[in-house]
Amino acid sequence: MQLRHQILVLAILPLVLSILAITGLVTWQSTTLARASIDTFERNMLKAKEEELLNLTNLALSAISGIYENAGPDDSVAKERVRQILNALDYGPDGYFFVYDYEGYNIAHPRQTFRPGLNWIDLQDPNGDRVIANLIERAREGGGLHQYIWEKPSAGTVAEKLSFAVGLEKWEWMLGTGVYLDDVYAQTAAAHEDLRNTINATFLTVALIAVPSVLLVFGTWMFLNLHERRLADNKLKELTQRVIDTQEEERTRIARELHDGISQILIGVRYMIDLARRKVESGAEGASEAIGKGADALNGAIKEVRRLSHDLRPGVLDDLGLTAALEALTTNFTDRTGIAVKLESVAFKNVLLPEAKTALYRVAQEALNNVERHANATEVSITLASPHGRVQMTVSDNGSGFQPDDRRKARTHQGGLGLRNMQERMAHFGGQMLVETSPKGTTLRAILPKSVFIRQARLAEVA
C-alpha cells in the first residue's frame, strides 16, 4: 500500500469506525428499549383480555346459576332454558357464548347456527389444532384458556382467538367464550413499524452527518493527492529528461573516445599491417619494424578499451572493495591530470551493500571530475570513515570554490550527474550530501546511515 493510501486509511477509517460504533450502540439501545416496551404493552393487553374473559364467564355463570343449581342431570327443560339464555347473551358482533357437551356435540352457537346438534370433536384450525377437543380438556381440568384460529363473524376472515372454557359438570357441558386478538397484534405491529421508522430516521440522520464528513476528508485527500502527484510528475519529467540527457552525453563521450582514440589507433595498426604486407611482398627491408609499431599501437588500443571499461564499471569495486576502487580511481586521476590526491580510509566492521559502494564510488568519481573541470585545484583529499557507526566520505580540494549562483546552476544543470544527482544517490539510502564552499576550496560530505551495512549475522545466512 502506497503512503498516500495509508494516509487516507488512517484519516477516514477511525472516523468511519467511530460513526458505525456510535450508530450501532444507539440503535441497539433504542431497539432494545422499544422492543421491551412493545413486549410489555402486548403482555398487558393479553392480560386485560384474559381478565375480560373471566369477567364475561362469571357473568354467564351468574345468569344461569339459579336454573342450573335447581335442575337435575337430565332436566331437559332446564337445559333448554340455559341454552336460550346463553344464546341471548350478546356483547358485540364478535362477542358470544358457545356450549358443547363433553363428547363434542354443539349445544349452542349464536353466530354459526349450522353447528348445533353436530359433533365437532375432531375439528381442527388451519394450524392443525383440535380446537373443540382442547377446549373440552380445559373445561374438564376446572377451567382454562386456549388460543387458536377461528372465523371472525364481523370480518368474515379467520383470526387469532383466545377463549376461556369452564365445565358444567352436572350436565357434562363445556361453556366458553372468547375474544379475538387481531386488534392486539395490529397495535403491536404498528408499534414495530414505528420502531423501524425511528431506526431508519436515525440512520438517515447519521448518514446526513457522516457522508458529508467522509466526503470532506476524501475531497481533502484527493486535493492533496492530486497536488502531490502533480509535483511528483513534474519531478519525474525532470528526472527522466536528466537521465536521457545523461545517457546521450555518456554515449557522445564514448563515441568520441572510440572515434578519437581507439578508432584512430586501429586505423594506424591497419596502415602498419598494410605497410608490412607490401614490404614482405616486394622483399624490401623494414617489415618487422612495421609489424612492431603495429603491435605497439594495438597495445595502446587495448589500454584505451580497458580505460573505457574501467570508467563504465570498475571491476576492482566488485572484486576488492570500495577502498581499492578509490585507490585505482585516484591513481588514474593523478596520472591523467597531475593533481595530487591523498586517500585515507578506515576498515569497516561490517560489509557495505553493493549498491552503497557503487553510490559512494560514483560520488567520488563525479567530485574528481568537477575538480578537474572547474576547481583549478592542485591538491585533493578523500577520507573514508565510519563515525557513530555510519559511513562518511569527505572530498576536499584547495580550488577556487564556487558562488551560490554557480551552485544553483550546478543543481539545475541538465547535463552530467551534478551535485543534485550526488544528493539523490545519498537520499536513496536515507543519507545526505553536504556541500561547503569558499574561495579557498570546496568540501563535499557524503553520509550514509547504518542501514547500508550487511550485518555479520546476515553474512552468515548468505554463506
Sign of the CA dihedral running 368, 374, 380, 381: negative
Predicted confidence at residue 83, as pLDDT, reads 92
Which residues lie below 8 Å from residue 271, measured CB to CB, with a gap of 6+? none
For residue 408, the model assigns a pLDDT of: 47
5-19: average pLDDT: 70
Please check the confidence at residue 282 and state whether its pLDDT lies above 90: no
The predicted structure's pLDDT at residue 455: 62
Res 458: pLDDT: 46
CA distances from 31 to 36, 189, 208, 209 (A): 8, 14, 21, 21
Q: Model confidence at 255, in pLDDT bands (50, 70, 90)?
A: confident
Share of the chain above pLDDT 70, in %: 88
Question: How far apart are the two ends of the chain, measured CA to CA in Å?
Answer: 33
User: Residue 188: is its pLDDT beyond 50?
Assistant: yes
Give CATH superfamily name and number for 317-462.
Histidine kinase-like ATPase, C-terminal domain (3.30.565.10)
> 3-180, what's its fold?
Beta-Lactamase (3.30.450)
Instruction: Kindly tell me the burial class for residue 356, based on how many C-beta atoms sit within 10 Å of its own C-beta (0-12, 13-18, 19 or more).
Output: buried
pLDDT of 459 over the 50 cut: no
What is the DSSP code (8-state) at residue 217? H
User: Mean pLDDT for the chain?
Assistant: 82
pLDDT for 350-398, tens place per residue? 688 888 888 888 899 889 988 888 888 899 999 998 888 889 999 999 9
Per residue, the 3-state secondary structure of 276-330, as one string, reads: HHHHHHHCCCCHHHHHHHHHHHHHHHHHHHHHHHHHHCCHHHHHCCHHHHHHHHH
pLDDT of 334 higher than 80: yes
pLDDT confidence tier of residue 456, bands split at 50, 70 and 90: very low
Q: Nine-digit cell at 17? A: 469506525
Check if the beta carbon of residue 108 is closer than 8 Å to that of residue 97.
yes
pLDDT at 311: 66
Closest CA to 116 of 90, 129, 98, 133: 98
- Residue 425: exposed, middle, or buried by beta-carbon count in 10 A (0-12, 13-18, 19+)? buried
pLDDT in tens, 304-325: 777 776 666 677 777 778 888 8
436: enclosing H helix or E strand: strand 432-438
Q: Collapsing DSSP states into helix, strand and coil, what is residue 143?
A: coil
387-433 pLDDT per residue, tens: 888 899 999 999 888 765 544 444 443 334 578 788 888 888 889 99
What φ, ψ does residue 293 adopt, rounded to 5°? -65, -40
Candidate from 18-27, 111-120, 154-163, 431-440 with smallest mean pLDDT: 18-27
Whether pTM exceeds 0.85: no
3-state secondary structure 58-93: HHHHHHHHHHHHHCCCCCHHHHHHHHHHHHHCCCCC
Q: Where are the alpha helices (DSSP H) in 99-181?
A: 131-140
| Backbone dihedral angles phi then psi of residue 125, each to the nearest 5 degrees | -85, 175
pLDDT band at 461 (very low <50, low <70, confident <90, very high): very low
Predicted local confidence at residue 287, as pLDDT: 78
- Residue-wise pLDDT for 208-222, tens only, equals 877 787 777 777 777
How many residues would you count in the chain?
463
pLDDT score of 322: 84
Can you tell me the distance from the alpha carbon of 199 to that of 205, in angstroms, rounded to the nearest whole number?
Answer: 10
Give 321's DSSP letter. Answer: -
Q: What is the DSSP letter of 105?
A: B
d(CA 277, CA 288): 10
Q: Work out the average pLDDT over 51-67.
A: 91
Closest CA to 30 of 175, 144, 195: 195
Alpha helices in 338-417 (DSSP H): 354-370, 404-412
* H-helix or E-strand spanning residue 166: strand 157-168
Give me the mean pLDDT over the 112-141 stretch: 94
pLDDT at 289 over 90: no
Residue 123: the pLDDT is 94
Per-residue pLDDT, 38:
80
- Tell me which of 453 and 68 has the higher pLDDT: 68
Buried b (16+ CB within 10 A) or exposed e, 398-412: bbbbbeeeeeeebee
